Chain A
Amino acid sequence: MHTTFASQLLEELRKTKWLPPYRDGGLRQVAAEIKELLEPFLEIMQSRRSEIRTNKSYAAGALVFFRSVQRNKRCALAYLMNRLRRIQQYRWEMGACAAAHLAENMSAPESHFLKEYNNLVGRYSQTVDLDLTADIQPPRDLFIEVRVRYDCGSVVTESGPVALKPGTAHFLKRSDVEHLIRQGRLDHIV
């Protein structure tokens, strides 16, 4: 059936919550199918142009092929767009460096997109003079108690650097360690 490959791509995306590996081969198959479908369409359009208005079977045939081409294209673009949305979402939720963990499942253009997108968000944050990725939730306290899960090196606070060793607990300014909490390296003790 037409467009099977394309719907498979979307199906795979729908079944996963995480970013699945990029299917370059799948997209190539879809593109090949589009070319295949265009041939009979163009043939009808060229050799039977005069008959299309009078003979409905030619018009219907051309339509079927053309619609399949459109559907293929649409599915492929939806696949790409939804992947980009997921990448963007990770960027917002976990910060620039955490999003780099996705690298192995991304294609080269997607990595490029992420890099440019980082710049874009950074530039916009600078223009409005607020770090837009901070404070995803409304802040509750100025200082919070955190327990270290994984070694995070040291963070620089107003009162000097603090070494975050695994297993230790600290009482720190929220804005200094917020990104580490979102990455799961610190636990927020409520």
Chain B
Amino acid sequence: MSSDSQHDNDTPRFSFGAMALSEEPSRLARAQSRLQNVASIDDAPNTSLNEAVDIMRMLARNEQYSPELLPFQTQTVSVIRSLVSQQLDIVDQEDELEENTSIESQLKRLELDRINYLLRHYYRVRIAKIENNIFFISKNAEASELLSDAEEKYAADYKRLIDDHFSKSFLSMLPQKIQVLEVDGSVDHAAGPNLDRFVFCRVRNDVGRIALGEDEGSDALNLGHGDILCVRYKGIAELLKGEDVELL
């Protein structure tokens, strides 16, 4: 970039998220350990956006392909948000200096748009999951711990809307005794997500031999770094939480 020379080395420069498209797991792992170190990101804003975006991309993918709701990634999301607004300020400042908006600033803005898209996508996938499993989530205290505060409020409001609609449209026509919603004899309306679904995943760290089947005698698999598997979600749920695998 030609305008880079105008900056001192100390001022934060714009960094391109798209250049981080190459998906080397080792880079991701490195990036992640760095991200944890720079929780207060202000010290090194210019180096960490690429890495934060890498991680965000991985988290969004995990969320999209896992059948169950994963914990809300408060830290990463807030880091990205603050970085994006910082970068946007920088681009705004640069634009004020120059008369015409240059192609460079347009590219930067587009890149920021794309990062915002990633965030939106993440929020949307989670909202869709919450809506689809609303009865399960509102019944299980465990499941509702995975939500952020805003999502918790959303879930509660949504549940109220649905309940309200059901009782107004249909349940009010029934005798009092069978108006209950959640459990109906042997039929559980609040069934959780299907954890037996098959998912594709890539191993990020060497984990060694692990039995992925639920039976005692099932074969153990040797999971090495970079292996790609198609397995039942249940088998790798723990590994996913420990960030030893990522979903594809």
| Residues of chain A at the chain B interface (Cβ within 8 Å) | 27-28, 30-31, 34-35, 38, 66, 69-70, 73-74, 76-77, 80-81, 84-85, 88, 92, 107, 109-110, 112-113, 116-117, 120, 123-124, 127-132, 134-135, 138-139, 141-143, 175
In the bound complex, residues from chain A placing their C-beta under 8 Å from that of B174 are: 31, 34-35, 73
Whether a CB of chain A sits under 8 angstroms from the CB of B141 is: no
CB contact under 8 A between A139 and B117, given known A69-B178, A73-B178, A76-B170 = yes
Whether the Cβ atoms of B165 and A80 lie closer than 8 Å is: yes
In the bound complex, residues from chain A placing their C-beta under 8 Å from that of B97 are: none
The answer, among A28, A80, A138, for a CB contact under 8 Å with B173, is A28
Looking at the assembled complex, report how far the CB atom of A173 sits from the nearest CB atom of chain B, in whole angstroms: 10
What are 13 A-B residue pairs whose CB atoms fall within 8 Å in the complex? A27-B173, A31-B174, A70-B187, A73-B184, A74-B189, A110-B169, A120-B161, A130-B120, A132-B123, A134-B120, A138-B114, A142-B110, A143-B106
**Bound-complex Cα distance A116 to B175 (A):** 28
Looking at the assembled complex, report how far the CB atom of B162 sits from the nearest CB atom of chain A, in whole angstroms: 7
Known: A74-B187, A109-B164, A142-B106. 17 other contacts (CB 8 A): A30-B170, A34-B178, A69-B178, A73-B184, A77-B181, A85-B131, A109-B165, A110-B169, A113-B161, A120-B158, A124-B127, A124-B153, A124-B154, A128-B150, A130-B120, A132-B123, A139-B110
In the bound complex, residues from chain A placing their C-beta under 8 Å from that of B185 are: 66, 70
Main secondary structure of the interface of A (DSSP, over half): helix
Whether a CB of chain A sits under 8 angstroms from the CB of B194 is: no
Within 8 A of A (CB), among B153-187: 153-154, 157-158, 161-162, 164-166, 168-170, 173-175, 178, 181, 184-185, 187
Looking at the assembled complex, report how far the CB atom of B76 sits from the nearest CB atom of chain A, in whole angstroms: 14
**Bound-complex Cα distance A30 to B171 (A):** 11
Whether the Cβ atoms of B161 and A117 lie closer than 8 Å is: yes
CB contact under 8 A between A38 and B161, given known A80-B170, A132-B124, A132-B127 = no
In the bound complex, residues from chain B placing their C-beta under 8 Å from that of A139 are: 110, 113-114, 117
Closest to B157 in A: A120
**Bound-complex Cα distance A120 to B181 (A):** 23
In the bound complex, residues from chain B placing their C-beta under 8 Å from that of A112 are: 165
In the bound complex, residues from chain B placing their C-beta under 8 Å from that of A109 are: 164-165, 168-169
Whether a CB of chain A sits under 8 angstroms from the CB of B75 is: no
**Bound-complex Cα distance A138 to B117 (A):** 6
CB contact under 8 A between A113 and B165, given known A70-B187, A124-B154, A132-B124 = yes
**What number of B residues sit within 8 Å (CB to CB) of A?**
37
The answer, among B114, B124, B166, B175, for a CB contact under 8 Å with A38, is B175
| Residues of chain B at the chain A interface (Cβ within 8 Å) | 81, 106, 109-110, 113-114, 116-117, 119-120, 123-124, 127, 131, 150-151, 153-154, 157-158, 161-162, 164-166, 168-170, 173-175, 178, 181, 184-185, 187, 189
**Bound-complex Cα distance A88 to B124 (A):** 13
In the bound complex, residues from chain A placing their C-beta under 8 Å from that of B106 are: 142-143
Looking at the assembled complex, report how far the CB atom of B40 sits from the nearest CB atom of chain A, in whole angstroms: 21
In the bound complex, residues from chain B placing their C-beta under 8 Å from that of A131 are: 120
Whether the Cβ atoms of B165 and A130 lie closer than 8 Å is: no
Closest to A71 in B: B187
Looking at the assembled complex, report how far the CB atom of B189 sits from the nearest CB atom of chain A, in whole angstroms: 7
Closest to A35 in B: B175
**Bound-complex Cα distance A127 to B151 (A):** 10
Whether the Cβ atoms of A74 and B184 lie closer than 8 Å is: yes
**Bound-complex Cα distance A142 to B112 (A):** 10
Looking at the assembled complex, report how far the CB atom of A140 sits from the nearest CB atom of chain B, in whole angstroms: 8
**Bound-complex Cα distance A141 to B168 (A):** 46
In the bound complex, residues from chain B placing their C-beta under 8 Å from that of A74 are: 184, 187, 189
Whether the Cβ atoms of A130 and B170 lie closer than 8 Å is: no
The answer, among B124, B153, B189, for a CB contact under 8 Å with A77, is B189
